Amino acid sequence: MSDAAVLSGRKASDAGAGAGAILIIDDESGIRESLQTLLEIEGYRVETAEAGDAGIARMADQPFDLVLLDFALPDKNGLEVLTEIRDRDPDLPVIMITAYGTVENAVKAMQGGASNFIQKPWDNEKLLADVRAAVARRRAEEENVQLKRALKQRYNFPNIIGKSEPMLKVFDLVAQVAASRSTVLIQGESGTGKELIAKAIHMNSPRRDRPFVPVNTGSMPTDLLESTLFGHVKGAFTSAIASKKGLFEVAHGGTLFLDEIGTMSMETQAKILRVLQDRKFMHLGGVQEVQVDVRIIAATNVNLQQQVKDGKFREDLFYRLNVITVDLPPLRERREDIPPLVEHFIRKFAGENEKDVRQTSAEALRPLMDYAWPGNVRELENVIERAVVLAGSSTIGLDLLPDSVIGRSDHRVFSHTPDASLFDIMEDCERRVIVDQLEKCNWNQTEASEKFHVPLSTLNQKIKRLGIEIRRKSSRE
């Protein structure tokens, strides 16, 4: 079954029939009935509860896409119920509704994880707009979760975070080449995750039960690198007091990952070429040939073709390595992957440091989204690790980000008010990504939907929800 089929096969019972499933928790019967009628006319499946505990019990019986929660309930405060909902389902959107709509209550609700705050009496059109937006976000998040699950069932990518089009293309290419014996060249800037991709290729290959051996060829002088790769016999050089196997032998039957291969000397390149051609080599100081069965995956952050032109890299080795090329995009070209990467690193470092850090504030997420990330994913990882270690609460605020991130952002910035919610920021991110792709496709929605790997109807729904105005196509269309 394809990934699209996995996603489209979502049962109505899993998320409510029609437009979505909504739970109303309010102690006033008139309010419950009024909201239920309004929402059912719009096609939502609606359940109601008159108290907090009753509402939590409803959630145990069936899943919902949204909760409309009153502030003042007979058995407990709405904020307490909100906390219980967050503990049960951290991603479930909750809109607080109350007659006591003070700024203080609104702030407490948003800090507690509410996605919005509406005061009684409400405006029907505004309420419905907020409901549609919240349910759409819930559905989109579930779609992303199911897509990740489908990808992870199909491929073994446990530590690679990415749902953007460039990364989905990388995943597909990795899956296609993994089963082969072909040499792979991974190209990308420093910090883009080249070793993770190499591991993914190895773990999805028939060699997965054999060693994966990484070596950074740029961190060693030539003599030490050759000794490390090919091994040596006793007495081969002054400090060779015993024979030692090289990494080619250690990786026999598995995969040898040569990182920063563009830094190797021409002499070492010639020896690597011979292994690729004949699958044989000799220990330093040795006379016996050693035969190995090793798949080589190489990586570089420099332009090897230019290195060939400059006489710094062997042309014959380049063509041996360049059988299959995987180009990893820099983080600035897949900004929609930043929020899930941030969440992943928060969970990782909060666990390692035994800290109760769960999220970033909306204010802190903006510069993370805007920053150019010259160090790519590795730099983002370091920034989040620092923030988690220094955090004194469950939320990473702007004060925990380094000045370099706050002060340096490229021209593509968000235009939010200081009190914009996380969902507002995510919507702006989604809007920007869709508009960018539509512009690249000359505003051809069909072509853009194919680029995003989503049905045309899904893209059109997003365009409508986000208020994107479709521009007239140029004459070339």
Enter the tokens of residue 311: 């006489």
Distances in Å between the alpha carbon of 47 and those of 88, 227, 460?
18, 70, 29
* CATH code of the domain containing 94: 3.40.50.2300
Question: CA triplet 91, 385, 213: central angle to 5 degrees?
Answer: 105
- Between CA 365 and CA 413 the distance in angstroms is 12
User: 170 and 311, same structural domain?
Assistant: yes
**pLDDT(425) > 50:** yes
Domain that holds residue 349: 332-413
Per the domain annotation, does 144 fall within a domain?
Answer: no
Cβ atoms of 188 and 329 within 8 Å: the answer is yes
CATH code: domain of residue 339:
1.10.8.60
Structural domain total, the chain: 4
Would residue 275 count as lying in a domain? yes
CA atoms of 214 and 199, how far apart (whole Å) = 9
State pLDDT tens for residues 429-461.
Answer: 778 788 878 877 888 888 888 888 778 877 888
Task: Considering only residues 372 and 184, tell me which one the structure prediction assigns the higher pLDDT.
Answer: 184
In this structure, the answer to whether residues 247 and 323 fall within a common structural domain is yes
d(CA 301, CA 467): 40
Both 110 and 225 in one domain: the answer is no
Of 289, 313, 329, the one marking the end of a domain is: 329
Same-domain check for residues 321 and 348: no
Contact (CB, 8 A) for 135 and 100: no
Same domain, 304 and 184: yes
Residue 318 lies in a domain: yes
Q: How far apart are CA 325 and CA 334, in angstroms?
A: 19
Shared domain check, 289 and 347: no
| pLDDT value for 415 | 46
The answer to whether position 147 is within a domain reads no
Q: Is 304 exposed, middle or buried (0-12, 13-18, 19+ CB in 10 A)?
A: buried
CA distances from 307 to 278, 349, 432 (A): 25, 39, 37
- Same domain, yes or no, for 187 and 321? yes
Give dist(CA 155, CA 172) in Å, integer: 9
pLDDT digits (tens, 9 = 90+) for 133-158: 888 888 877 766 665 555 555 555 66
Mark which of 124, 139, 154 sits at the end of a domain.
139
Q: What are the b/e assignments for 437-460, b being 16+ CB within 10 Å?
A: bbeebebebebbbebbebeeebbe
H-type alpha helices, 279-337: 304-309, 315-321
pLDDT at 13: 33
pLDDT band at residue 121 using 50, 70 and 90 as cut-offs: confident
Q: What's residue 188's pLDDT?
A: 93
With H, G, I as helix, E, B as strand and everything else as coil, classify residue 253: coil
How far, in whole angstroms, is CA 67 from its chain's centroid? 27
The last residue of one of the domains, among 286, 305, 329, is 329
